[in-house]
Amino acid sequence: MSSDQQLPGDVAALAEVPADKGEVHLVHLYPREMSIYGDLGNTRCLAARLRWHGYSPVVHDHHPGSPWPDQVHLVLGGGGQDSGQARVQEDLARIADRLRELAADGVPMLMICGMYQLFGEAFVTVEGARLPGLGILDVTTRGNEKRMIGPVVLDTDFGPVVGYENHSGSTVLGEGQQPFGRVRQGHGNNGSDGTEGARTHNVVGSYLHGPVLPANPWLADGLLEIAARRATGTWAPADVDDTVAREAHERQVRRLLG
């Protein structure tokens, strides 16, 4: 594991297999400005699971002005305040073409809340100002006075997903844009059309904070499988004990859906 995000020793110690299946490079976009509501946990979850599966995680924290890593197999981004979004706008424009190339090439990405909005076509503030996005996802978000908050259950291509949403932005999908999931409990993108998030190729945008990956290990491994195949040519997962996570997931679904 590299430099910027160290895997906690007690977590690394849980790995009972050698790290001999190759390096997988993860990039965490703007961990200082865009990683609130526990979103950093998604990066730590992926790094830990890579190690438990016998791979060597290499995590690059990308800060404004940083050089772009030579190897990128998976990209993560989280939520932030409006002030955080403003601080990353210039750098995001600088690396926009590279991110679009990687997305088009099939690199898996998980963008939560604020970064989900910035990966869309535009964010329109409550005051009516239009801020351009990267256009990787065909979604447009408008700011609202009312927040959408609470637990969520989704049906997705990765299986049932649970999480917690907390956003004032109301997002609408463009024609033909695939959602990340269908809402069974919660508000989703806008509280009215039954969609949550968006997915284009292997890029997933979502409002689920929490963080979402430790609560849904099959979603984490779904992203890692794509990344590991790109990095090493194969995906050879180890037998990871997800008993506690699965029990917590099942209890949450029963509690919310009955």
Q: Among all residues, which ones are annotated catalytic?
A: 113, 209
Residue 131 host element (H or E): strand 130-132
Residues 6+ apart with CB under 8 A from 6: none
User: Tokens 């065909």 sit at which residue?
Assistant: 138
The sign of the CA dihedral 150, 186, 46, 159 is positive
* Two tokens, residue 243: 């008993």
Q: How many CB atoms lie within 10 A of CB 65?
A: 8
Torsion of CA 156, 160, 164, 167, to 10 degrees: 10
User: Tokens 């979850």 sit at which residue?
Assistant: 45
Residue 130 is assigned to a ligand binding site = no
Give 25's strand partners: 58
Residues in binding site = 147
Residues in binding site for substrate = 147
